[in-house]
């Protein structure tokens, strides 16, 4: 998908990351994105925040309780993808 959007150099899909690499992976990112609209308690979002990373998240389910737009990160009501 990132190659299709001409962002292959900037976007990396890491796949499964072991616990021993997790903190390092969070700290190496510039921004953490959680686009899911079905997150009940997003442990990944909390981990990224605890590593000091800015978070962009969907404004859905429990994510607005974690990510307050303009305060603790950015939220989006609707994601769009243009081809």
pLDDT at 39: 78
pLDDT at 42: 87
Residues in the chain: 83
Q: Which residues contact 52 (CB under 8 A, 6 or more apart)?
A: 27
CB 46 within 8 A of CB 69: no
pLDDT at 15: 82
pLDDT at 81: 47
The domain tally of the chain equals: 1
Phi and psi at residue 71, to the nearest 5° = -115, -60
pLDDT at 1: 46
The CATH number for 57's domain is: 3.40.50.2000
Mean pLDDT by 10 residues, the chain (83 residues): 55 82 88 84 90 89 86 75 49
CB 39 within 8 A of CB 61: yes
| Residue span of the structural domain in which 47 resides | 1-83
pLDDT at 45: 92
CB atoms within 10 A of CB 47: 15
């Amino acid at each position: 998908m990132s190659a299709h959007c001409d962002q292959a150099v900037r976007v990396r899909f890491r796949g499964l990351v072991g616990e021993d690499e997790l903190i390092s992976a969070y700290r190496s990112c510039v921004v953490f994105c959680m686009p899911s609209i079905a997150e009940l308690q997003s442990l990944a979002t909390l981990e990224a925040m605890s590593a000091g990373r800015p978070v962009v998240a969907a404004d859905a389910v429990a994510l607005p309780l974690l990510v307050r737009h303009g305060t603790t990160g950015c939220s989006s009501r609707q994601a769009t993808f243009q081809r």
